Amino acid sequence: MMLRYPEEKQSILRELALRLIQAEKYREALEELDLYLPSFPHQDNPVLHAYAGLVALYLSQSERVSQISDAGLLRMAKGHLERSRTLDPDNTVVQAFLDKISTLSQPSGTQIAQEEAHDSEEDVMNIDGDVQPRKRARA
């Protein structure tokens, strides 16, 4: 189809990617998009970059929604979504997914630091006189 109708190449690729996603052939959809996205005029199509970013984000996640299993795919997703946002700055869906990627890619050290701060507050806020304070060994 793309050879027969070269002026409709982008529309055909968008439709093909959407059909592959609907058929749950995510890896195939991403491969098809990655084949065409580096070349002109596809590189300037925000919808194609959004599709590629969302599929890569989906594939990067493990069984547990809050855990990322493939950091390379996550970086790919972020790159495609940022390109889509650059081409179409008014797309709020793309911005929402970029925010979600930022949340997912935060190191878990932030959570550990918050838990340690909470533990130290408990030690300081010992109001009851009959409760023995906990002793901690130094590492």
pLDDT tens readout for residues 52-80:
999 998 888 765 544 556 778 888 899 89
Task: Identify whether 41 is preceded by a cis peptide bond (ω within 30 of 0).
Answer: yes
Q: Are 60 and 73 in contact (CB under 8 A)?
A: yes
CATH homologous superfamily for 6-122? Tetratricopeptide repeat domain (1.25.40.10)
Considering the entire predicted model, what is its pTM?
0.66
Nearest to 125 by CA among 114, 136, 133: 133
Q: How many CB atoms lie within 10 A of CB 26?
A: 15
What's the rounded Cα separation, in Å, for the pair 53 and 78? 6
> 3-class DSSP state for residue 68?
strand
Q: Kindly indicate the confidence band of residue 10, based on its pLDDT and cuts at 50, 70 and 90.
A: confident
∠ Cα 54 72 84 (to 5°)? 35
| Residue pLDDT, tens place only, 112-138 | 444 444 444 444 444 444 445 444 455
